[in-house]
Chains A and B, each alone.
Chain A
Amino acid sequence: MKVAVVGAGVVGRLAALQLVNKGVAVTLFEKTPLSVPHNAAHVSAGMLCPISEIIHAPKEVAQMGLWGVAQWPKLLQQLQLLDPQQEPVFFQAKGSLVVAFDADRQCFAQLKSDLTTKATDYAANIDWLTENELHQLEPSLHNFKQASFLKPEAQLCNRAFLAVSTRALQQHCVIYDNQEISVSKLQQLTGEYDWVVDARGANAIGQEHHQNPVGPLRGVRGEVIRVHCPEATLSRPVRVLHPRHAIYIVPKPGGEFVIGATEVESSSEHNITVKSTLELLSTLYSVNPMFSEARVLEASVGIRAAYLDNVPNVSIRQRVIVANGLYRHGWLMGPAIANQIVDHVIRRESENIA
């Protein structure tokens, strides 16, 4: 069986790798060079936060997300075996913290009300930390008096995943990168392959293969800043609530931190704005002045493709499997969505043989 995967974001890569593992011949098409990704996966922080998403997203997103968090260690192990250099990808499941400055304590009260109403099934996974407990767990958060500790949350190194998966895919798939695939070309591919997986993410905005009932796809612009601050210590992602802009700080390997992310209803990729820079960096500085001497490595912009309900969707028409709309949940929902794609390909194939 031959499958074409179009798009090398989280979904495209995971689907391709899983199909390879099932012995399927995969051809991967990507708009940019595979080793120099230009997508939301590259820009993002690699957070896996199923519990905090319960507040805004429907329950199935949280459920698929929790399943995804549980799958990642296995997926990364499989990836390591496919990588010619056998490099591991950083992953940790030490939970995440949600805090608010004392001036914004009403935001914290709102979070508590939201979580106790909407996350009743997961109450055992949420600890409400006192000042002492928080300072013991994360000493550099001494400016905060309380926190919500979301224990099942995790993170991975998104850039390590992209680097390692690039090598693995180059080793095990046919790659056509630097190739933009139009909708007509996508349709044309169905003549050459048994299945075409359309995982173009934001590149499909305005150029969808077929109409989706929850469509059209739209872009949600996100801006993040990456800093290097080896003297800072933070062992897990921290989300700082604010009435106008909630911001997360995610520690990465090598003393780096990713601060993000804004949410603007736009698919424009212009450089980060002054306002967003101020929002992100003033929050970082207020969390702990130890960040004042952090070196700003980059400010990046990523476009997240979302359907109107902000829920990922897989739909199939004419041997084209469209998987898109992962919004800001790419890493979280990637495993579940890739699994749906692979299941579909394999199941249909076995039905055909029977």
Chain B
Amino acid sequence: MDLLRIYDKRYESRLILGTSRYPSPAIMQKAIIASGAQLVTVSLRRQQSNLAAAQSYVALINAAQVDVLPNTAGCESEQEAITLARMSREIFATDLIKLEIIGDNYTLQPDMEKTLSCVVKLIKEGFKVLPYCTDDLVACKKLIDAGCEVIMPWGSPIGSGKGLNNPYQLAVLRQRLPEATIVVDAGLGKPSHATGAMELGCDAVLLNTAVAQAHSPELMAEAFCHAVKAGRYGYKAGAIQAQEFATPSTATIGMPFRVNE
């Protein structure tokens, strides 16, 4: 069976869904179901000052009966991210952590130097780290050398909905890092963006705003569910090479001579 590999876990679904910015928790729950996601990402950053008071929020996420991938969204320093990672591990009883250390406040581009340094520290503490990263091949290689089995390069800036800014670079990552699980994280807006990422051979996509802020989050979640599958099947099936000329798909019986206009 064609399963997504996230460290020691295996998932049928290749869509990881975020849990922020839905109109209501009820709509979020419906969207999770419609998306078919088996892994959802959750941020505790704004709840950390009083965890006891966030119990109902944690219960809500746990009620969705999917695995939780805690994240360090919005952190700008290693120490912040490490504190949040430790806290999230305790709350959600998982070693998985999506590491996000922001280096630029406007584009929310990750700081790769701090991310790499933090990955080393978190792995020492036994975390299974999924770093949010740029699509820089060398930076990604260093993350993998440091022990990451999964990398999460951006499609475009978080929440921008611009899709894949540099498909060529994602294809390079796939080609040069065949063993890594590549999850395109951030910037997807339309289902076709997800299909595109999957067609390039990425292993999964992570998205949030595209579903949460759609006019109908539930329907959009379903759309992405199909889009991710379509892209994956397309990749596995082996697409034909694009040609510079037309090739008739039906045999040219009845046309005794080739017409050269």
Q: List A residues at the B interface (Cβ < 8 Å).
A: 55-57, 110, 113-114, 117-118, 205-206, 214, 216-219, 221, 243-244, 264-270, 273, 275, 306-311
Contact = CB atoms under 8 A, between A and B. Distances in A.
Nearest to A271: B49
B49 A273 contact: yes
12 contacts: A56-B23, A113-B215, A114-B215, A117-B215, A205-B56, A218-B25, A267-B56, A308-B29, A309-B25, A310-B24, A310-B26, A311-B24
A270 B54 CA distance: 12
B53 interface: yes
B66 interface: no
B54 A268 contact: yes
Which of B24, B47, B213 gathers the greatest number of chain A CB atoms within 10 Å?
B24
A265 B47 contact: yes
Given A264-B46, A268-B50, A219 B56 contact: yes
Interface residues of B, number: 19
Given A265-B54, A267-B54, A311-B24, 9 more contacts: A217-B56, A218-B25, A265-B56, A266-B53, A268-B47, A268-B54, A269-B53, A308-B24, A309-B27
A211 to B, nearest CB: 14
Contacts of A221: 53
B8 to A, nearest CB: 30
B215 A118 contact: yes
A64 to B, nearest CB: 16
Given A216-B56, A243-B159, A266 B25 contact: no
B123 interface: no
Nearest to A56: B23
Interface in B209-256: 213, 215
Interface in B45-68: 46-47, 49-50, 52-54, 56-57, 60
A114 B46 CA distance: 27
A205 B60 CA distance: 14
A267 B27 CA distance: 20
